[in-house]
Structure 1
Amino acid sequence: MVEGGSESQAWIDDEFAASRFSDVRLGRRLRQLVTQMAGAVGGPIPLACQDWANTKAAYRFLSNSEVVSHGVV
Structure 2
Amino acid sequence: MEEAARYIGAGLAGTALIGAGIGIGSIFSKYLEGALRNPSAAASQQTNLLLGFALCEATGLFGFVLAMIILFV
TM-score normalized with structure 2 length: 0.30
Higher RCO (CA < 8 A, seq sep 6+): 2
TM-score normalized with structure 1 length: 0.30
